Amino acid sequence: PQFNHHRAFEDAMVVARIMEKFIPLLRSRGADRVCDIDGAIAGLRGGSTRRTRHITILVRNKTGLKNLYKLISASYLAHYRKTPIIPRSLLAEHREGLLIGSACEAGEVFDAV
């Protein structure tokens, strides 16, 4: 459908169309009241809720540069959760040619000390 963006009326219409699909989904998951919504959608997103850590990645050679590009692409395309995330398993898989370190106070070394 044709939308006229940045107009309150059109925004309300878009939200109404979304809610037409969303409300039956919520009801099928047992959410009959607004306070039930969090519980109903808890499992929809998936993924880990574990704390993420900051790292620095330095490239040693061309293989490392290629692996860094793969990690960055995967973090944005497959593992994006409000911010790009690189799972440890993916990091281990593409570690060749990379130097990996703890970045700052949000890194693993800082927490260990």
Residue 97: per-residue pLDDT:
96
**With contact defined as beta carbons under 8 Å apart, do 57 and 99 qualify?**
yes
Q: Which residues of 6-39 are buried (b: 16+ CB within 10 A; e: fewer)?
A: eeeeeeeeeeeeeeeeeeeebeeeebeeeeeeee
Residue 14: per-residue pLDDT:
84
d(CA 94, CA 59): 12
4-19: pLDDT as tens digits: 566 666 778 888 899 9
55-94: pLDDT as tens digits: 899 999 999 999 999 999 999 998 887 888 898 899 999 9
pLDDT averaged over every residue in the chain = 82
45-55: pLDDT as tens digits: 555 566 778 88
d(CA 95, CA 100): 8
Name the residue with higher pLDDT: 21 or 104. 21
